[in-house]
Amino acid sequence: MTNNELKSFIAGMPKAELHLHFDGTLEPERMLQLAEKNKVKISYDSIEEIEKAYQFTDLQSFLDLLYEGAAVINTAEDFYTVTMDYLKHCRAENVVHTEISFDPQTHTERGLAFGIMIEGITGAMEDAKRDWGQSSLLIMSFLRHLSEESAEITLEASLPFRDKIVAVGLDSSEFGHPPSKFKRVFARARAQGLLGIAHAGEEGPPAYIHEALDLLKVQRIDHGVRAIEDPELMTTLAAKQIPLTVCPLSNVRLCVFDTMADHNILTLLDAGLNVSVNSDDPTYFGGYVNANFDALVTDLQLTQDQAVRLARNSFSGSFLPEGDKSKMLDRLSEYATG
């Protein structure tokens, strides 16, 4: 199979996305349009200027731009529009299931009501389900550079919408903000029946992955690529099949790896870990899920068998009910065996 044949096999392959931030799906065109509509002043006048700002030196330089972009999203209709833009990409790329993370604090800190976000985002999720059978779940993430108290206030504000949210997560600046900082709020979320995920081992050390598992008791790790530095942790992750939601283009853009050829995703996969391919913040990092797979084909000589295993992990690592999971896994097997 040539690289191009493999890329078109991947494009048609049913798959899930497990690591995706709502704010990271804001397209430059949409940012300009919403800024104008809502009369929000931003530092950029054109799509070219926004795209130029996508040259990041580290996680923080990206977060600065991300938070500026988020300020143009102001009404339930805006949240709907941005979510629907993303869900249409899922449809086009055969991402048949997605788990969308949103950061309420990015928006509540500037005065928006919690319900506005939920109404807009879940409205689009429900319409996509009705219109083309798009499967999706919603995850609420806490910003780790803020205090645990702020996370607790956010959890409290989410309780009237408890049935719309499947899990809580932890994202934003990793250095200096270990998972242990959020131990109590994750315990409170668990008591509400919420599942847990956390970004760990992206820029931060393997110790943060241990903390996320042992103290926050999460079911899944976002990124986790630095697990490779800790052989014992690698054994645990493989034995327990704890999913790592890996984001290749993001990691190279944010200089976690110098080049795609240096990325360790296939080493982790072949060591038996449950790794999947995700886009993280697709508009900021140069592509959606299929573009991430394509980069692995081009720079890491991804094989068809590995591509199918990565897609299988995206379903088995999801928070779908078991019945839905096996239906999607069956659909993937059928596709893979032609």
Give 200 or 308: the residue with its C-beta nearer to Zn ion: 200
Amino acid 267 reads T
Give 221 or 332: the residue with its C-beta nearer to Zn ion: 221
Integer Cα distance of 103 and 298 in angstroms: 33
Amino acid 63 reads L
Determine the size of the site formed for Zn ion (CB under 5 A): 1
CB of 145 to Zn ion, least distance (A): 14
Question: DSSP state, 109?
Answer: T
* β partners of residue 291: none
Give 78 or 280: the residue with its C-beta nearer to Zn ion: 280
Cβ-proximal residue to Zn ion, closest one = 280
Q: Do residues 185 and 157 make contact, with C-beta atoms less than 8 angstroms apart?
A: no
Q: Do residues 272 and 240 make contact, with C-beta atoms less than 8 angstroms apart?
A: no
Site string for Zn ion, 125-164 (x = CB under 5 A): ----------------------------------------
Give 9 or 186: the residue with its C-beta nearer to Zn ion: 186
Sheet with 244-246, edge to edge strand ranges:
15-21, 95-102, 135-143, 167-171, 195-200, 220-223, 244-246, 275-277
Give 103 or 280: the residue with its C-beta nearer to Zn ion: 280
CB of 316 to Zn ion, least distance (A): 20
In the window 263-322, what residues touch Zn ion (CB under 5 A)? 280
Q: Is 202 a catalytic residue?
A: yes
Question: DSSP state, 175?
Answer: T
Site string for Zn ion, 39-58 (x = CB under 5 A): --------------------
Of the residues 17, 174, 202, 211, only one is catalytic, namely: 202
CB of 303 to Zn ion, least distance (A): 26
Alpha-helix runs per DSSP H in the chain: 3-12, 28-37, 47-52, 59-70, 76-93, 104-108, 114-132, 148-158, 183-191, 206-214, 231-240, 248-253, 265-270, 282-285, 289-300, 304-316, 322-336
Q: Which residues are catalytic?
A: 202
Contact residues toward Zn ion (CB under 5 A) are 280
